[in-house]
């Protein structure tokens, strides 16, 4: 249940060409993650491109244009890294929720636009082989981290901009934006604990079942 990789804050090397970090706002530095196995750091930009750079030299390793960019577009919430993938949600799309292959940047899976068609400011939450994320439609979704299969979704009554925190077989997430007439507060949701360990093992092996 607790064998999950957390996104680690980092900084882009000063030797990374400025052209590679165009449109990355200063607040986006919080989106930079260090990969647990690969010697790269990565950041999602407001221009809709995800960049991976060498941690020692700042040299560009790969880049992947995923969604349309702009002042209010692209990657806004923090991404997460686990099981050889980068998990993300974006302000523009489709895709709005997806996973990238950490080695190449290729899209590993994406939530179909018929299901996920609204912006997200919600950071990724990863635990027990599951990827949790909320969005502007008030939905908290749980995906199989390996396959991208949608396992569960809940309407929590308010826009979800907080990142789900997973502790002791519980998922905690905040909802609501203030005096907008929406539901506000913090939810604690119970996981089906007996299934998570087996799913985590399958995801770590790369099994599709």
Res. 180 pLDDT band, cuts 50 70 90: low
Residue 10 lies in a domain: no
Residue 4 lies in a domain: no
Of residues 85 and 183, which shows the higher confidence score? Answer: 85
Mean pLDDT for all residues in the chain: 76
Residue span of the structural domain in which 134 resides: 18-205
From CA 17, how far away is CA 136, in angstroms rounded? 34
How many residues are listed for the chain in this entry?
209
1 touches 193 (CB < 8 A) = yes
Structurally, the chain folds into a number of domains equal to: 1
User: How many Cβ atoms sit within 10 Å of the Cβ of residue 183?
Assistant: 14
Q: Is the pLDDT of residue 14 over 70?
A: no
pLDDT of residue 73: 83
Check whether the bond before 95 is cis (ω within 30° of 0).
Answer: yes
Residue 64 lies in a domain: yes
Residue 196 lies in a domain: yes
Residue 11 lies in a domain: no
CA–centroid distance for 106 within its chain: 15
How many angstroms separate the Cα of 207 from the Cα of each of 110, 129, 144, 198?
Answer: 17, 11, 11, 11
pLDDT of residue 178: 61
Sign of the Cα pseudo-torsion (81, 10, 64, 78, in order):
positive
pLDDT digits (tens, 9 = 90+) for 73-132: 899 888 999 999 999 999 999 999 999 999 999 999 999 999 999 998 889 999 889 999
Whole-prediction pTM: 0.74
pLDDT digits (tens, 9 = 90+) for 121-161: 889 999 889 999 999 889 999 999 999 999 999 999 888 98
Residue 5 lies in a domain: no
Residue 102 lies in a domain: yes
Residue 181 lies in a domain: yes
Instruction: Find the CATH number of the domain harbouring 102.
Output: 2.130.10.10
């Amino acid at each position: 249940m607790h064998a999950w990789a957390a996104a680690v804050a980092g900084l882009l090397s000063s030797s990374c060409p400025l052209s590679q970090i165009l449109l990355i706002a200063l607040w986006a530095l919080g989106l930079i993650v260090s990969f647990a196995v690969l010697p790269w750091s990565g950041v999602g930009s407001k221009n809709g491109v995800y960049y991976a750079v060498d941690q020692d030299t700042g040299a560009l390793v790969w880049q992947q244009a995923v969604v349309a960019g702009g002042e209010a577009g692209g990657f806004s919430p923090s991404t997460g890294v686990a099981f050889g993938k980068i998990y993300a949600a974006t302000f523009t799309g489709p895709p709005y929720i997806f996973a990238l292959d950490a080695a190449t940047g290729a899209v590993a899976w994406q939530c179909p636009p018929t299901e996920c068609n609204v912006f997200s400011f919600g950071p990724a939450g990863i635990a027990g082989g599951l990827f949790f994320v909320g969005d502007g439609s008030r939905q908290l979704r749980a995906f199989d981290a390996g396959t991208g299969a949608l396992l569960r979704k809940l309407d929590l009554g308010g826009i979800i901009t907080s990142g789900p925190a997973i502790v002791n077989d519980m998922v905690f997430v905040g909802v609501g934006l203030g005096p907008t007439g929406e539901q506000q507060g913090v939810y604690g949701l119970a996981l089906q604990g007996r299934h998570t360990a087996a799913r985590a093992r399958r995801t770590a092996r790369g099994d599709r079942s």
